[in-house]
Amino acid sequence: MKSDPVSVVDFLSTVKGFNAIEPGELEALAGQIEVGVFEPGKRIIRRGDPGDKMYVIQ
């Protein structure tokens, strides 16, 4: 599910590591992010899975 890049930028700007990125670069990154919603307790990654995604949990 794609998300509104503005709300993604707002969220990422509060995350350590992302908050140091310039606003324009953060906006470009936000446009590439796919937001996922998972049920509490649902396993989203297992040890040994390919490293083809990065999860930032809100």
Domain boundaries along the sequence of the chain: 1-36
pLDDT on residue 7: 87
Q: What is the pLDDT of residues 1-58, one digit of tens each?
A: 456 656 889 999 999 999 999 989 999 998 888 888 899 999 999 999 999 988 888 8
pLDDT on residue 2: 55
Match 């503005």 to its residue by tokens.
6
Q: What is the pTM of this model?
A: 0.69
pLDDT on residue 41: 93
**Torsion angle of the four alpha carbons 24, 51, 53, 13, in this order, in degrees rounded to the nearest 10:** -40
Distance CA(14)–CA(28), nearest Å, equals: 16
